[in-house]
């Protein structure tokens, strides 16, 4: 029996303002509320920062002329090298992320496309952010050789995101069976 090894590319490069799930927006402006935000401080200044993010909204909801959303859901995308402390800084932590054993994190493969080489990256589901769809399109249109996660890896990311949000913690669990 012959086994045929196939390779599925993880990424492609895009030069347009069209947005799809799995699009990577590098250096995207994100507005962060102050850590001490209260009902009495709603007039506080939000901090503008630039982060690498990945689009989590469904592609079908962002089709030009048939938009079903006005805000794009985004998650932070961290480089592996940015984790210098904690569990994800270890090979064990990265292996657990690779296996899908860390529900709040999803590991993306390194990119080897010419002129777009990137290290392993981790999608962080802990915090989500939104920006207007028109803004994201304009930002994407200005980004040359923007990376896009391809199927089936894009769907794998979406599934991991869904698993993170659909977790249910029971108030009382069934006791462990003992021998």
pLDDT values of the chain reduced to their tens digit, one per residue, 179 residues? 666 666 889 999 999 999 999 999 999 999 988 888 888 777 778 889 999 999 999 999 999 999 999 999 999 999 999 999 999 999 999 999 999 999 999 999 999 999 999 999 999 999 999 999 999 999 999 998 999 999 999 999 999 999 999 988 888 888 889 87
76 within 8 A of 53, measured Cβ to Cβ: yes
Q: Side by side, which strands form the sheet with 47-55?
A: 24-32, 47-55, 71-79, 121-132, 105-108
pLDDT at 167: 85
Rounded to whole angstroms, what are the CA distances from 26 to 67, 74, 178? 23, 12, 51
**Cα angle for residues 147, 150, 4 (degrees, 5° grid):** 130
Name the H helices within 63-132.
Answer: 91-98
94 within 8 A of 101, measured Cβ to Cβ: no
Strand ranges in the chain using DSSP code E only, listed in sequence order: 11-14, 24-32, 47-55, 71-79, 105-108, 121-132, 146-149
The pTM score is 0.89
Tell me the HSE value of 103 on the side-chain side, using a 13 A CA sphere.
7
Residue 94 C-alpha from the chain's centroid: 16
* Tokens 């569990």 -> residue: 87
pLDDT at 105: 97
């Amino acid at each position: 029996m012959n086994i045929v090894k196939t390779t599925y590319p993880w990424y492609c490069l895009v030069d347009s303002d069209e947005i799809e799930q799995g699009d990577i927006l590098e250096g995207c402006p994100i507005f962060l509320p102050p850590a001490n935000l209260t009902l009495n401080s709603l007039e506080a200044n939000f901090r503008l920062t630039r982060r690498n993010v990945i689009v989590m909204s469904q592609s079908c909801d962002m089709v030009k002329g048939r938009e079903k959303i006005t805000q794009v859901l985004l998650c932070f995308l961290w480089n592996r090298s940015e984790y210098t402390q904690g569990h994800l800084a270890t090979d064990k932590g990265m292996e657990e992320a690779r296996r899908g054993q860390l529900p709040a994190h999803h590991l993306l493969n390194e990119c080897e496309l010419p002129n777009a080489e990137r290290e392993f990256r981790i999608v962080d589901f802990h915090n989500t952010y939104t920006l207007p769809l028109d803004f994201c399109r304009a930002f994407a249109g200005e980004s040359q050789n923007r990376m896009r996660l391809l199927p089936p890896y894009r769907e794998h990311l979406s599934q991991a995101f869904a698993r993170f949000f659909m977790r249910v913690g029971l108030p009382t669990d069934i006791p462990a069976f003992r021998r």
